[in-house]
A and B are shown apart, each in its own frame.
Chain A
Amino acid sequence: MTDFPALRLVPKADGPQSAKDFKTDQEVRWCPGCGDYAILAAVQSFMPELGIRRENTVFVSGIGCSSRFPYYMNTYGMHSIHGRAPAIATGLAASRPDLSVWVVTGDGDALSIGGNHLIHALRRNVNLKILLFNNRIYGLTKGQYSPTSEVGKITKSTPMGSLDAPFNPLSLALGAEATFVARTIDSDRQHLQSVLRAAARHEGTALVEIYQNCNIFNDGAFEILKEPGTRDEALIRLEHGQPVLVGADRHVVRGADGELRIAPRSEGTAIVHDAHAAGPSTAFALTRLADADTLHHTPIGVLRDVDRPVYDALMAEQLTRAEQQQGRGDLAALLAGSSTWTVDA
Chain B
Amino acid sequence: MTSQVDQSEAVDGPDGEGPAASARSGPGRPAKPIRRLDRVIIRFAGDSGDGMQLTGDRFTSETAAFGNDLSTLPNFPAEIRAPAGTLPGVSSFQLHFADHDILTPGDAPDVLVAMNPAALKANLPDLPAGAEIIVNTDEFTKRALAKVGYAASPLEDGSLEAFRLHPVPLTALTLEALKDSGLARKDAERAKNMFALGLLSWMYHRPTHGTELFLRQKFAKKPQIAEANVTAFRAGWNFGETTEDFAVSYEVPPAKLAPGTYRNISGNLALSYGLVAAGERSGLPVFLGSYPITPASDILHELSRHKNFGVRTFQAEDEIAGIGAALGAAFGGALGVTTTSGPGVALKSETIGLAVSLELPLVIVDIQRGGPSTGLPTKTEQADLLQAMFGRNGEAPVPIVAPATPAECFTAALDAARIALTYRTPVFLLSDGYLANGSEPWKLPEVDELPDLRVEFATEPNGPDGAFRPYQRDPHTLARPWAVPGTPGLEHRIGGIEKQDGTGNISYDPANHDFMVRTRQAKVDNIVVPDVEVDDPSGEARVLVLGWGSTYGPITAAVRRVRADGGRVAQAHLRHLNPFPANLGAVLERYEKVIVPEMNLGQLALLLRAEYLVDAQSYNQVRGLPFKAAQLADVLHAALGSLDAEETR
* Chain A residues near B (Cβ < 8 Å): 11, 24, 26, 53-60, 63, 70-71, 73-81, 84, 87-96, 98-99, 116-117, 120, 315, 318-319, 321-323, 325-329, 331-332, 334-337, 339-345
Contact = CB atoms under 8 A, between A and B. Distances in A.
A178 to B, nearest CB: 15
Given A24-B493, A343-B259, 12 more contacts: A11-B486, A54-B491, A63-B496, A75-B491, A76-B492, A81-B353, A88-B327, A92-B485, A94-B314, A96-B333, A96-B485, A325-B308
A60 B289 CA distance: 18
Nearest to A93: B328
B308 A92 contact: no
Nearest to B506: A71
Interface stretch (B113-121, B273-281, B520-528): B273-281
A80 B354 contact: yes
> How many B residues are at the interface, by size bracket?
35 or more
A315 B312 contact: yes
A76 B493 contact: yes
- Going nearest first, the 3 A-B pairs with the smallest beta carbon separation are A79-B495, A91-B325, A91-B328
B325 A99 contact: no
B155 interface: no
A337 B64 CA distance: 13
B329 A91 contact: yes
A327 B330 CA distance: 26
Given A74-B491, A117-B324, A55 B312 contact: no
A325 B493 CA distance: 40
B262 A84 contact: no
Contacts of A91: 287, 289, 314, 324-330, 332, 334, 336
B343 interface: no
Given A95-B329, A328-B308, A342-B262, A120 B276 contact: no
A80 B495 CA distance: 5
Given A56-B485, A79-B495, A326-B308, A336 B444 contact: yes
Interface of B: 61, 64-67, 210, 254, 256-264, 273, 276-277, 280, 285, 287, 289, 306-310, 312, 314, 316-318, 320-321, 324-334, 336, 350-351, 353-354, 358, 444-445, 447, 485-497, 505-506
Main secondary structure, interface of B, reads mixed
A55 B259 contact: no
A55 B289 CA distance: 25
B289 A322 contact: no
B300 to A, nearest CB: 15
B67 A318 contact: no
Contact of B260 (A70, A120, A335, A343): A343
B495 A55 contact: no
A98 B486 contact: yes
Contact of B334 (A53, A87, A95): A95
A56 B61 CA distance: 50
A335 B410 CA distance: 10
**Looking at A56, A91, A98, A318, which has the most chain B CB atoms within 10 Å of its CB?**
A91
A228 to B, nearest CB: 38
A297 B325 CA distance: 38
B331 A92 contact: yes
A334 B306 CA distance: 9
Contacts of A95: 285, 287, 312, 328-329, 332, 334
A79 B493 contact: yes
Contact of B261 (A54, A75, A340, A345): A340
Contacts of B447: 331-332, 335
A339 B263 contact: yes
B308 A76 contact: no
Nearest to B286: A95
B67 A341 contact: yes
Nearest to B316: A87
A328 B308 CA distance: 5
Contact of B276 (A58, A71, A331): A331
Contacts of B487: 55
Contacts of B287: 91, 94-95
A26 B334 CA distance: 29
Nearest to A116: B317
23 contacts: A24-B493, A54-B491, A55-B486, A55-B489, A55-B491, A56-B485, A75-B491, A80-B496, A87-B328, A91-B326, A91-B334, A92-B328, A92-B332, A95-B312, A95-B328, A116-B321, A117-B324, A326-B308, A334-B309, A340-B262, A340-B444, A341-B67, A342-B261
Contacts of A26: 505-506
Nearest to B448: A332
Contacts of A81: 350-351, 353-354, 496
A60 B328 contact: yes
Contact of B307 (A75, A323, A337, A341): A323
A115 to B, nearest CB: 10
B205 to A, nearest CB: 15
A95 B335 CA distance: 11
A295 to B, nearest CB: 31
